[in-house]
Amino acid sequence: MSEVIVITSGKGGVGKTTTTANLGVGLAKRGKNVVLIDTDTGLRNLDLLLGLENRIMYDLVDVTEGRVPYKKALVRHKKYETLFLLPTSQIKDKSAVNPAQLMVLCDELRKQYDYVIIDCPAGIEQGFKTAIAAADRAIVVTMPEVSAVRDADKIIGELGRAEKDNISLIVNRIRPQMVESGDMMDMSDIDDILSIKCIGQVPDDEMVVTSANRGEPLVGNPKSQAGRAYDNIVRRILGEEVPFMTFEKDGLFTRLKKAFGM
Amino acid sequence: MARDLIKIKGVSNGFQLMVDSSADLTQVQEELERKLAEHPEFFPEGTKFQLVVADLHKSVRQGLGSYLQSKGLDLADSTKKVSTGAVRPNTGHANADNAISQPNNGRNEGDCQQVMKVINRTVRNGEEITSQGSLMICGNVNPGAKLVAVGSIDVRGNCRGIVHAGAMGDYQAFVVADRLMPMQIRIANLIARSPDEPEVSQYAEKAYIKDGQIVIEPIER
């Protein structure tokens, strides 16, 4: 049974695209057939995070306007054979694709692939409405920050109005040290407002930046806390019960080093 | 604070209109116009008004009647009993929020029925819920959400949004919540905002008007 999942957030910069790339790679690593659709037309990034920019021939707009069949536009990942990217146009804007077109496309993709993951643009306008139209399930990404949580709340309301009932939450870029000292919202503060099922808590991790620069998502990388957290999310999506990890905090020595700016 | 010349209260089949009998027609009309313009969503075409002042000058009454008629609204004669079978005005919202009637206990302003709208979910950032009568939310009201009711508001959960009870000038309206920590509380034309250092309230509280000010006190429930 295939599933269409939209990754959304309202606010920009919380890690929608990073999450999409990591979940896609994670699912492919576990043998699933996965298509990632970038719907952030005009500001596409997903291809960069996957390191596939130089392989793009056609894009989403070519497909929805019927110029090429979708098979031609799909870019196979260089490492994971069951992972495909459907990039969007960098030239057009959000009005180039409408909800009905994406729904038709997703219905086609459903027949071939286990998971279709849609990377939603920031905002609540047309791009957002197009991205969520075909989704069976929505994953809202937020950060422990008042503005991100406030926007996530708005998005959950919007999803409700669009009759998307299967909504879960990923809290990204948690800084355990700050949570502990009371300088950052903790999970209970976030749950208090959003009150939806949480399927992931991802710590802030410098390796996310380096992996993005290299175009290799770090899901499953045992050296990275964020990599392990993303792997846990993949397992939860596949229906496993995985307990939330406890974050390792920096040791005294590392903290001293940071304090002295080393 | 100037006294309101007119008061509007939601009842089951429209609104009660209370008019200060000492006022003249132009003043009353001006104020009515302002109130209708503030919340047009409460007054779809065909909404019934019921005048509940006995000694109002005939010319004022007639003037009001024709004014409301020009707006597509309806002024019923106060001497006539408004039939219970009258159509309840549509709230104009397409959602499936259900409205129920509730006896108006403890208030001795005639034997009118007040409408209560019940929302059985979390009200989220950016949502606005209005009610021609009272409003009950079984769920949280999140920051950025707004509740506006002609009557009172009851939140069975955390109340963090903006709440406006007695939106048409009912000073008896109140706001109750399990945890009352809204950004603003408005009752009739008074506004109170939350302290800049918000604290988490531990018990159910009620906000109402006392001596021309919004006061908050803990309640049992």
Please check whether residue B126 touches A, CB under 8 A.
yes
| Residue B110 one-letter amino acid | G
Contact A154 B144 (CB under 8 A): yes
Please check whether residue B158 touches A, CB under 8 A.
yes
Nearest to A157 among B125, B143, B158 (CB): B125
Please check whether residue B62 touches A, CB under 8 A.
no
Q: Are A242 and A201 in contact (CB under 8 A)?
A: no
| Residue B217 one-letter amino acid | E
Q: Is the pLDDT of residue B81 over 60?
A: no
Q: Which domains does chain A have, with CATH numbers?
A: 3-259 (3.40.50.300)
- Nearest-Cα distance to chain B for A170, in Å, is 18
Contact B140 A193 (CB under 8 A): yes
Q: Are A144 and A185 in contact (CB under 8 A)?
A: yes
Query: pTM for this one?
Result: 0.78
Angle at A27 between CA A23 and CA A28, to 5 degrees: 115
- Nearest-Cα distance to chain B for A151, in Å, is 8
Contact B143 A157 (CB under 8 A): no
Q: Which domains does chain B have, with CATH numbers?
A: 6-76 (3.30.70.260), 98-218 (2.160.20.70)
Q: Which of B97, B122, B125, B158 to mutate to test the interface with A (most CBs of A within 10 A)?
A: B125
Determine the Cα–Cα distance for residues A218 and A222; give it in Å rounded to an integer. Answer: 9
Determine the Cα–Cα distance for residues B216 and A171; give it in Å rounded to an integer. Answer: 35
Nearest to A150 among B122, B125, B158 (CB): B125
Instruction: Identify the closest residue of chain A to B95 by CA–CA distance.
Output: A161
Determine the Cα–Cα distance for residues B16 and B6; give it in Å rounded to an integer. Answer: 10
Q: Are A36 and A20 in contact (CB under 8 A)?
A: yes
pLDDT averaged over every residue in chain B: 80
- Residue numbers of A between 116 and 155 with CB closer than 8 Å to B: 150-151, 153-154
Whether complex ipTM tops 0.85:
no
pLDDT in tens, B91-149: 444 344 444 444 444 444 444 567 899 999 999 999 999 999 999 999 999 999 999 99
pLDDT at residue B52, rounded to an integer? 77
Q: Which helix (H) or strand (E) covers residue B176, if one does?
A: strand B175-180
Instruction: Identify the closest residue of chain B to A124 by CA–CA distance.
Output: B126
Task: Please state which of the ranges A73-82, A122-131, B7-16 shows the lowest mean pLDDT.
Answer: B7-16
Residues of A in contact with B158 (CB under 8 A): 192
Q: Is the pLDDT of residue A249 over 70?
A: no
